[in-house]
Chains A and B, each alone.
Chain A
Amino acid sequence: MSHESAPSIREWLGAAERAAEELASTILGIEDFQITGHALEPPESLVGGYINLNNDLIRLKLGVLTDPEGCLEVTRLFLGMETISLEEQADAWGEIVNILAGTMKRNLDGHSAPIQMGLPSVAKDLPTLPAPDEIAATNLTLGKAKVTLMLVKHQNHGGSNGNETPR
């Protein structure tokens, strides 16, 4: 790959999968990491963390989706605490999204034109998006938690810097 042949959405998603595996084996201390599928099937009761990555060519949105139980499970491991408030869970989930996006970007360092990361946001809904050019997803397990990595790609026609509202 080179800057002239920018990574495909599958290559970005693969980099995000490797990022999730690295997060599991380091800060989370989870040995049970498995990829279970590639269908985008968000849970009915959703906790979603989102972050934008932009350059002159593309706009990517990485979403990290789970349900409230999954969010509690992963953020407990992340913080090393049993009792966590909803506010702390949201902050921790946003940081997890930030780490996954940064590691995804690092995993493709040298293969993509420089890309700017925004700040993460956390919501109980899927974001409202203009029709994407491409969308891809990976379902995986982090311990007992079921998590979906979602990537939405738009060709960039200029304008937005893509930053989310800071948490």
Chain B
Amino acid sequence: MKILIVDDSKAMRMIIRRILRQAGFQDVDAEEAVNGKDALEKIKTVAPDLVFLDWNMPEMNGIEVAQNLKQSGSPIKYGFVTSEGTQEMKQLAMDAGANFFICKPFTVETFQSELAGILS
């Protein structure tokens, strides 16, 4: 499975890769993007099956990417890994078609439970 990790922090992109391995999702081919604009470009070239979106990023934020994917009718699954986790923002994410919503700081178990039905 191809995944795209979208976060402006290199540290967080590394941590998500590590957590995915620790959560038992070994069979993933991970690419990275550093903001929303970069993500939309990479989605065209990489054609990922699943996209992990940060919320707050320069250039274009995660919710704009999600809304773009929903409006375009993309079959790609996507969700958020973000420090933003208010009920209002979760609702915005779900309205934009998000398949999961993981709040930072997270645990391996959080990834396992949120992604079990998607990455299995």
A, B assembled together: yes
Of B8, B10, B14, B104, which is within 8 A of A103 by CB?
B104
B58, A109: Cβ atoms under 8 Å? no
How far does the Cβ of B20 sit from chain A's closest Cβ, in whole Å? 13
The size class of the interface chain B forms with chain A is 20 to 34
Q: Which residues of B contact A109 (CB under 8 A)?
A: 85-87
Q: Which residues of A contact B15 (CB under 8 A)?
A: 27, 78-80
Of B11, B88, B107, which is within 8 A of A95 by CB?
B11
Q: Which residues of A contact B84 (CB under 8 A)?
A: 102, 105-106, 117
A145 within 8 A of B: no
How far does the Cβ of B81 sit from chain A's closest Cβ, in whole Å? 11
Q: Which residues of A contact B103 (CB under 8 A)?
A: 102-103, 106
Q: Which residues of B contact A102 (CB under 8 A)?
A: 82-85, 103-104
B58, A166: Cβ atoms under 8 Å? yes
Main SS of chain A's interface residues? helix
Interface size, chain A (Cβ < 8 Å) = 28
A27, B83: Cβ atoms under 8 Å? no
List chain B positions with a Cβ less than 8 A from chain A.
8-12, 14-15, 18, 56-58, 82-88, 103-107
List chain A positions with a Cβ less than 8 A from chain B.
22-23, 26-27, 75, 78-80, 88, 91-92, 94-95, 98-99, 101-103, 105-106, 109-110, 114, 117-119, 166-167
